[in-house]
Amino acid sequence: MPGQKDQLRTWWKESSVYQIYPASFQDSNGDGIGDLKGIISRVDYLKELGVDIVWLSPIFKSPQIDMNRQGYDVADYRAIHEPYGDISDVDTLKDKLHERGMKLVLDLVMNHTSDQHEWFQESRKSKDNPYRDWYIWRPPRYDAQGNRQPPNNWESHFQGTQRIEQRQCTSSQLACRKRLGV
């Protein structure tokens, strides 16, 4: 029977977490872009550092047009961003981390998708599409001169208004992205 102290221990509070942005961590094939095989080749190094948990920034299929190519605009949650590798690489990385007593945390945000995701492509087709209410749609706003206005004036806690506008863009229209220069 574990003692009370052991029962109160939680791995996600008491572990050393090492976040990896895949594109810049380790390139295994010389194309200039870090990848999963590169991370796999450094698993022993991570263990030597004393890492308990690898937090992997987004690796899913994405056009990478969100802020600074972070990959939070996911186009397919069941596929890997091609320059990073494929699902078998994820399995290998997971297995090698587990063999060394480390955990793997995948970073993804579930409250929005890329405008290239098939759910969004369906949703935008018509108001009676089965996917229509998978996204929030509102009529566009215009000023007195007839110029189309941003979706809202919300501010982000993270990176100012642009991030919010960009999230709106991923679920609205190309013209909005052009306006923001993203």
Cβ distance to Ca ion smaller for residue 22 or 151: 22
CA distances in angstroms from 171 to 62, 93, 119, 124, 165, listed in the order given? 14, 32, 11, 9, 10
**Residue span binding Ca ion (CB under 5 A) among the ranges 4-12, 15-23, 26-34, 146-154:** 26-34
Selected range binding Ca ion among 20-28, 59-67, 86-94, 174-182, rule: CB under 5 A? 20-28
Q: At closest approach, how far in Å is the CB of 40 from Ca ion?
A: 12
Nearer to Ca ion, 25 or 134 (CB): 25
Q: Out of 29, 88, 126, 129, point to the residue binding Ca ion (CB under 5 A).
A: 29
- What token pair was written down for 29? 């094939």
Distance CA 17, CA 61 (A): 24
Strands (E), the chain: 17-20, 53-56, 60-61, 76-80, 103-106
- To Ca ion, the closest distance from the beta carbon of 101 in angstroms equals 27
In sign, the C-alpha dihedral spanning 29, 89, 42, 107 is positive
Backbone angles phi, psi at 55, to 5 degrees: -100, 110
Interaction between residue 31 and Ca ion (CB under 5 A): yes
Strand partners, 105: 55
Q: CB-wise, 27 or 52, nearer to Ca ion?
A: 27
Q: Least Å distance between CB 28 and Ca ion?
A: 6
Which stretch in 33-41, 64-72, 133-141, 152-160 sits in contact with Ca ion by CB under 5 A?
A: 33-41
The CB-of-33 to Ca ion minimum distance in angstroms stands at 4
Of 35, 66, 115, 165, which one interacts with Ca ion (CB under 5 A)?
35
The whole-angstrom separation of Cα 60 and Cα 120 is 16
Of all residues in the shown chain, the one whose CB is closest to Ca ion is 35
Q: What does DSSP say about strands 17-20 and 60-61: parallel, antiparallel, or unpaired?
A: unpaired
27 near Ca ion (CB under 5 A): yes
**Which residues of this protein are in contact with Ca ion, per CB under 5 A?**
27, 29, 31, 33, 35
